[in-house]
Structure 1
Amino acid sequence: MRILFVCGGTSGVIFSIVPLAQAARNAGHEVFMAGPEDVMPIVTRAGLPGVPVTRTSMMDTLLDDDGNRIPIPTDLHERYLFNGRCFGRYAANCLEGLYPLVDRWPPDIVVGGALAFAAPLIAAYAGVPYVKHAVDMGEPRTIDLAAAAELGSSLERLGLYDMPRCDLFVDTCPPSLRTWDAPPAQPMRYVPYTTPKALEPWMYTKGDRPRVMVTAGSRITPDYYFDVLASLVKKVQHMDVELLVGAPDDMAARLGPLPDNIRAGWLPLDVLAPTCDVIVNHAGGNTVLGSMAHGVPQVLIPYLPYVVDYSTRLTEFGASKMIRPGDDTAETITDAVREVLDTPSYRERAGELREEMLGMPTPADVVPVLERQAERGRNEPGAPARTRLT
């Protein structure tokens, strides 16, 4: 079986989909992962065949025609619309390279991340089932509507009137944290993955002091989220703990000289998380789910509006402490870290989530579900026919 994975344009959303792609390849299926040229090193370092389909990066969608950064709206609804339009433009760029790819290499099924809106369109073009793969614990649906509006000409070109619905939804959110109106889904255990590096003993062992990790995710650049990371480090560096700062190596170097109790750089979360007592983070999907998978309580500061919802759910469950971005003073963050360290219930509730996640089907368990979906797509009456460009 040929499976085409259509990935998002940044490392975080790629990390979440890699385990299923690896499992499908290990099961003997032909797997391609398509995306922009700039993320191909992330794909290929995961041992997956990567197909670049555009030279336009996800970050390029944040620029206007003159190369100037488009102001990000402060109003929440407008922010969702802005995000959706950016993802729609990203998808349109990917489609131009996806059409010739599927002409030469027709897939049997297409799998795409929740915000990889080129996936349902290229599945419709190829006449095969589309599988939507969750990359975190829920995206606002307003983003989908704005992306569909941005993709109007692409839909018209394919003779479609709206975005194709998925034939299967693969959800990594633990059942206890799913929203009441979440769509039916094939559950799948979240398997933490990051681009690996050679391990050193300190990464998988810890000393006598509490170990606290601080991260603002893997996507930071000098112009994107670096100020958030630098501010977080400054606010907690005085604590009497062993402090780990997770960031790309070049961004960690920009933090300048740090106290002796701090290690900063590209840290493999899947290795380090089991040694941590608390993880302070920006509520990014992979960081949150990766911490949950290892039963580590968190201090969440949801700087992006769309992550407030699942940060609230995790906090109400008792496995994290949430701080609103406007309240993220040094005193508030350090008090929250101390509360989580000193209150056993946070780790107990985080441990309950870990056990729940361990009981979910693995990516290897989900591969046969993809096989059956592809088979139904070939044999069921009314199966989608290949859509020709108009």
Structure 2
Amino acid sequence: MRFLFVTGGSPATVFPLTPLATAARNAGHEVIVASTEETLPAIVGAGLPGLCVSPVPIRHHITTDRSGAAITEPTDPEAHMIYIGHAFGRLAAACIDPLLDFAAQWRPDVVVGGMLTFAAPLLASRLGVPYVRHSWDTGEPPVVDSAAERELRPELERLGLDRLPVADLWIDICPPSLRPADAGPAQPMRFAPTNMQRPLEPWMYVRGEQRRIVVTAGTKVARGNFFDYLVDLVGKVKTVGAEVVVAAPAAVSDELSQRLGVRAGWLPLDVVARNCDVLVHHGGGGTALTGMACAVPQLLIPNMPKLLAPSRRLADSGAAVMLLPGEDTAEAIAAGVDQLLHQPIHRERAAVLSQEIMTMPSAADVVDVVEKLC
């Protein structure tokens, strides 16, 4: 069989799909992963064949409309989620024709699309092949889908569709106990921490004498994009008095190290997280799932409206503490970290979540399920 995976937006949109794509290749299937140019290093870094279907970064679609006019980012939470949906709709519009051209030469038997990769269902519908929707994290608000559908009205009409096609299978990597109450039926799949690697150093895989706190704001940090947020967050965490390590893209690592006086850079988080005591971050889904899989208590400070609901569910489980934007003072962060370090219930609940993830079907098991669609 030929599996075509479609994703895009940032490396964080590639990592969740990597285990299934790798398992499909290991099972003897042909696999190609189509994405935007900015995410290709994450694809080929995982040893997967990567196809560029757009040179335009997601930031362009977030900040400008189709005419090239600048868009002001809304502050209202509901409006912000709609804004994100339209941006991913524009990303899909930019990718659909290159995908159709590619599929005319290399016809897939199944299309697997990342959660907000709306070009995937359009492509699968046009080809008449099964469409599998693959979650990226612990949940995306439905309002994002609705906004993307409105943005894609011209493409839907051109393809003879009145709405976005429904998936033939939804693969969900969210632990069942953390799924939203209104989530629909899905095929569960075990989350396997995945990230771009670098040569390991002993401190990464061995615990030091001090308590270690890993701080991150995800894969999108750059000058002018969450950089100041991360600097501010690290400054507050440093008041706790533990060893602080910062996971951030390599492009900003030197400046962060010099400015903050800490180890900073692209880290193999799947290794480092297992040797830390607390994970402090922006509420990103991939980071949160890595913490869950590694049984690490987490302090969540969600920096986007769509991250509030999944962060709240994780905090309600007892495996994390959440601070809302505006509540993240140095004193509140220190108190939250102290609570996670010294109240055993948080590590116990984190271990329960880790065990729940381990009982979910493996990527190899799910490949068998996908095969039966064709």
Query: What range describes the TM-score normalised by the shorter chain of this pair?
Result: over 0.9
| Residue 219 of structure 2: aligned partner | 218
| Residue 130 of structure 1: aligned partner | 131
Q: Is the contact made by 1:280 and 1:298 (CA closer than 8 Å) also made in structure 2?
A: yes
CA distance in 1, matches of 2:38, 2:329: 36
CA distance in 2, matches of 1:233, 1:77: 28
CA distance in 2, matches of 1:56, 1:259: 32
Q: For residue 87 of structure 1, give the secondary structure of its aligned residue in structure 2.
A: helix
Q: For residue 195 of structure 1, give the secondary structure of its aligned residue in structure 2.
A: coil
CA distance in 1, matches of 2:290, 2:64: 35
Give the superposition deviation at 1:8: 2.1
Q: For residue 327 of structure 1, give the secondary structure of its aligned residue in structure 2.
A: coil
- Aligned partner letter, 2:169: L
TM-score normalised by length of structure 2 = 0.97
| Residue 341 of structure 2: aligned partner | 341
Q: Please list the CA deviations of residues 332-364 of structure 1 after superposition, one character each: whole Å capped at 9, or x if unmatched.
A: 111100111010000000000000100001111
Aligned positions, number: 373
Is the aligned partner of 1:322 residue 2:322? yes
Q: 1:68 to 1:238 in 2, by over 3 A?
A: farther
Q: 1:61 to 1:134 in 2, by over 3 A?
A: same
> RMSD of the alignment, in Å?
1.3
TM-score normalised by length of structure 1 = 0.93
Q: For residue 326 of structure 2, give the secondary structure of its aligned residue in structure 1.
A: helix
Q: Which one scores higher on RCO, CA 8 angstroms, separation ≥ 6?
A: 1
| Residue 271 of structure 1: aligned partner | 271
| Residue 145 of structure 2: aligned partner | 144
| Residue 243 of structure 1: aligned partner | 244
Q: Is the contact made by 1:54 and 1:96 (CA closer than 8 Å) also made in structure 2?
A: no
CA distance in 2, matches of 1:54, 1:179: 33
Q: Is the contact made by 1:237 and 1:259 (CA closer than 8 Å) also made in structure 2?
A: no
| Residue 230 of structure 2: aligned partner | 229
- Aligned partner letter, 2:246: V
Is the aligned partner of 1:76 residue 2:101? no
- Aligned partner letter, 2:358: L
Give the superposition deviation at 1:70: 2.3
Give the superposition deviation at 1:208: 1.6
| Residue 298 of structure 1: aligned partner | 298
Q: Please list the CA deviations of residues 152-177 of structure 1 after superposition, one character each: whole Å capped at 9, or x if unmatched.
A: 11111110111100000000111111
CA distance in 2, matches of 1:204, 1:249: 20
CA distance in 2, matches of 1:169, 1:334: 39
Give the superposition deviation at 1:249: 2.0
Q: Please list the CA deviations of residues 141-194 of structure 1 after superposition, one character each: whole Å capped at 9, or x if unmatched.
A: 111011001101111111011110000000011111112211101000000000
Q: Percent identity?
A: 48
| Residue 119 of structure 2: aligned partner | 118
Give the superposition deviation at 1:255: 2.2
- Aligned partner letter, 1:145: S
- Aligned partner letter, 2:144: I
Give the superposition deviation at 1:258: 5.3
CA distance in 2, matches of 1:295, 1:29: 33
CA distance in 1, matches of 2:64, 2:241: 46
| Residue 204 of structure 2: aligned partner | 203
Q: 1:256 to 1:199 in 2, by over 3 A?
A: closer
CA distance in 2, matches of 1:184, 1:328: 36
The unaligned stretches of length 5 or more in structure 2 are none
| Residue 386 of structure 1: aligned partner | none
The unaligned stretches of length 5 or more in structure 1 are 375-390
CA distance in 1, matches of 2:70, 2:348: 44
